[in-house]
Protein backbone atom coordinates (compact mmCIF):
# COMPACT_ATOMS: atom_id res chain seq x y z
CA UNK A 1 0.00 0.00 0.00
CA UNK A 2 2.86 2.36 0.86
CA UNK A 3 4.61 1.60 -2.44
CA UNK A 4 1.38 2.29 -4.31
CA UNK A 5 1.02 5.67 -2.56
CA UNK A 6 4.64 6.61 -3.37
CA UNK A 7 4.13 5.69 -7.02
CA UNK A 8 0.94 7.76 -7.12
CA UNK A 9 2.73 10.78 -5.60
CA UNK A 10 5.49 10.50 -8.20
CA UNK A 11 2.90 10.36 -11.00
CA UNK A 12 1.09 13.40 -9.56
CA UNK A 13 4.37 15.35 -9.38
CA UNK A 14 5.14 14.45 -13.01
CA UNK A 15 1.67 15.56 -14.09
CA UNK A 16 2.05 18.81 -12.13
CA UNK A 17 5.35 19.50 -13.92
CA UNK A 18 3.72 18.78 -17.28
CA UNK A 19 0.72 20.95 -16.45
CA UNK A 20 2.89 23.91 -15.49
CA UNK A 21 2.86 24.64 -19.22
CA UNK A 22 -0.95 24.62 -19.29
CA UNK A 23 -2.11 27.94 -17.83
CA UNK A 24 -5.77 26.96 -17.99
CA UNK A 25 -5.92 25.60 -14.44
CA UNK A 26 -5.17 27.88 -11.53
CA UNK A 27 -3.20 26.65 -8.55
CA UNK A 28 -6.37 26.80 -6.50
CA UNK A 29 -8.29 24.68 -9.01
CA UNK A 30 -5.52 22.07 -9.02
CA UNK A 31 -5.44 22.03 -5.22
CA UNK A 32 -9.23 21.68 -4.99
CA UNK A 33 -9.16 18.86 -7.54
CA UNK A 34 -6.36 17.13 -5.63
CA UNK A 35 -8.24 17.34 -2.33
CA UNK A 36 -11.44 15.95 -3.85
CA UNK A 37 -9.59 13.23 -5.74
CA UNK A 38 -7.77 12.16 -2.59
CA UNK A 39 -11.06 12.10 -0.70
CA UNK A 40 -12.58 9.72 -3.26
CA UNK A 41 -9.40 7.62 -3.18
CA UNK A 42 -9.60 7.30 0.59
CA UNK A 43 -13.25 6.23 0.38
CA UNK A 44 -12.38 3.46 -2.09
CA UNK A 45 -8.95 2.75 -0.64
CA UNK A 46 -7.63 2.72 -4.19
CA UNK A 47 -5.21 5.08 -5.95
CA UNK A 48 -7.25 4.98 -9.17
CA UNK A 49 -10.95 5.65 -9.68
CA UNK A 50 -13.27 4.28 -12.33
CA UNK A 51 -14.39 6.51 -15.20
CA UNK A 52 -18.04 6.21 -14.16
CA UNK A 53 -17.05 8.17 -11.01
CA UNK A 54 -15.99 11.19 -13.07
CA UNK A 55 -19.34 13.07 -12.77
CA UNK A 56 -19.24 12.72 -8.97
CA UNK A 57 -15.65 13.97 -8.76
CA UNK A 58 -16.41 16.90 -11.08
CA UNK A 59 -19.43 17.81 -8.98
CA UNK A 60 -17.31 17.70 -5.82
CA UNK A 61 -14.84 20.04 -7.54
CA UNK A 62 -17.67 22.51 -8.17
CA UNK A 63 -18.29 21.81 -11.87
CA UNK A 64 -21.82 21.39 -13.13
CA UNK A 65 -21.27 19.47 -16.35
CA UNK A 66 -24.10 19.11 -18.84
CA UNK A 67 -24.79 15.69 -20.36
CA UNK A 68 -23.53 17.01 -23.71
CA UNK A 69 -20.24 18.15 -22.22
CA UNK A 70 -19.91 14.87 -20.34
CA UNK A 71 -20.31 13.04 -23.67
CA UNK A 72 -17.54 15.19 -25.18
CA UNK A 73 -15.28 14.46 -22.21
CA UNK A 74 -15.92 10.72 -22.39
CA UNK A 75 -15.19 10.78 -26.13
CA UNK A 76 -11.89 12.58 -25.42
CA UNK A 77 -11.00 9.97 -22.80
CA UNK A 78 -11.78 7.15 -25.22
CA UNK A 79 -9.58 8.76 -27.89
CA UNK A 80 -6.79 9.05 -25.30
CA UNK A 81 -7.35 5.38 -24.41
CA UNK A 82 -7.99 6.26 -20.77
CA UNK A 83 -9.82 3.46 -18.96
CA UNK A 84 -9.27 4.61 -15.36
CA UNK A 85 -9.36 7.96 -13.62
CA UNK A 86 -6.05 8.94 -12.04
CA UNK A 87 -5.13 12.45 -10.94
CA UNK A 88 -3.40 13.25 -14.23
CA UNK A 89 -6.51 12.24 -16.16
CA UNK A 90 -8.65 14.39 -13.87
CA UNK A 91 -6.43 17.41 -14.55
CA UNK A 92 -6.66 16.71 -18.28
CA UNK A 93 -10.47 16.60 -17.99
CA UNK A 94 -10.60 19.87 -16.01
CA UNK A 95 -8.37 21.57 -18.59
CA UNK A 96 -10.63 20.32 -21.37
CA UNK A 97 -13.72 21.63 -19.53
CA UNK A 98 -12.14 25.09 -19.35
CA UNK A 99 -11.23 24.94 -23.05
CA UNK A 100 -14.78 23.93 -23.98
CA UNK A 101 -16.24 26.69 -21.80
CA UNK A 102 -13.94 29.25 -23.44
CA UNK A 103 -14.95 27.98 -26.88
CA UNK A 104 -18.62 28.47 -25.91
CA UNK A 105 -17.92 31.97 -24.51
CA UNK A 106 -19.15 34.47 -27.13
CA UNK A 107 -16.73 37.13 -25.93
CA UNK A 108 -13.94 34.55 -25.68
CA UNK A 109 -12.42 36.61 -22.88
CA UNK A 110 -12.17 33.86 -20.30
CA UNK A 111 -13.12 36.37 -17.63
CA UNK A 112 -10.56 35.87 -14.86
CA UNK A 113 -12.93 37.30 -12.27
CA UNK A 114 -15.58 34.76 -13.18
CA UNK A 115 -12.96 32.01 -12.98
CA UNK A 116 -12.01 33.17 -9.49
CA UNK A 117 -15.68 33.39 -8.48
CA UNK A 118 -16.33 29.84 -9.69
CA UNK A 119 -13.17 28.54 -7.98
CA UNK A 120 -14.46 30.01 -4.71
CA UNK A 121 -17.85 28.32 -5.01
CA UNK A 122 -19.89 30.46 -7.40
CA UNK A 123 -21.49 29.24 -10.62
CA UNK A 124 -20.47 29.83 -14.24
CA UNK A 125 -23.76 31.62 -14.87
CA UNK A 126 -22.68 34.17 -12.22
CA UNK A 127 -25.17 32.89 -9.65
CA UNK A 128 -24.24 31.55 -6.24
CA UNK A 129 -22.17 32.96 -3.45
CA UNK A 130 -18.75 32.78 -1.86
CA UNK A 131 -18.51 32.08 1.84
CA UNK A 132 -16.54 34.46 4.03
CA UNK A 133 -14.95 31.45 5.75
CA UNK A 134 -13.46 30.31 2.44
CA UNK A 135 -12.10 33.79 1.68
CA UNK A 136 -10.59 34.12 5.15
CA UNK A 137 -9.04 30.66 4.85
CA UNK A 138 -7.48 31.47 1.47
CA UNK A 139 -6.10 34.77 2.72
CA UNK A 140 -4.59 33.10 5.78
CA UNK A 141 -3.43 29.80 4.26
CA UNK A 142 -2.61 30.56 0.62
CA UNK A 143 -1.22 34.06 1.02
CA UNK A 144 -0.07 33.71 4.64
CA UNK A 145 -1.59 37.07 5.54
CA UNK A 146 -3.29 38.07 8.74
CA UNK A 147 -6.77 39.50 8.93
CA UNK A 148 -7.80 42.03 11.52
CA UNK A 149 -11.44 42.80 10.91
CA UNK A 150 -14.77 42.77 12.62
CA UNK A 151 -17.30 40.57 10.87
CA UNK A 152 -20.90 41.30 11.66
CA UNK A 153 -23.59 38.70 11.05
CA UNK A 154 -25.59 39.15 7.86
CA UNK A 155 -29.20 39.97 8.55
Q: What are phi and psi of 8, to 5 degrees?
A: -65, -40
Q: Is residue 87 very low, low, confident or very high in pLDDT (cuts 50, 70, 90)?
A: very high
Residue 148 covered by a domain: no
Is 98 a domain residue?
Answer: yes
12 is a domain residue: yes
146 Cα distance to chain centroid: 26
| Residue 138, domain member (yes or no) | no
Whether the per-residue pLDDT at 65 is higher than 50: the answer is yes
Three-state DSSP class for residue 131: coil
Domain contains 144: no
For residue 133, tell me if it sits in a domain.
Answer: no
Give domain status of residue 116, yes or no: yes
Q: Give residue-wise pLDDT tens across range 27-61.
A: 888 888 999 899 888 888 888 888 888 999 998 88
Q: Any idea what the CATH number is for the domain that residue 96 is in? A: 1.10.238
- Provide the residue range defining the domain that includes 52: 2-120
Domains identified in the chain, total number? 1
Amino acid sequence: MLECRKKQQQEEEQVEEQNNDAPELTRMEVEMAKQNFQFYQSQKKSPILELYELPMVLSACGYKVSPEMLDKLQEMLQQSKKTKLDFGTLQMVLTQIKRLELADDPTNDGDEYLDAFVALGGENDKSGKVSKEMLINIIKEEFELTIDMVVSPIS
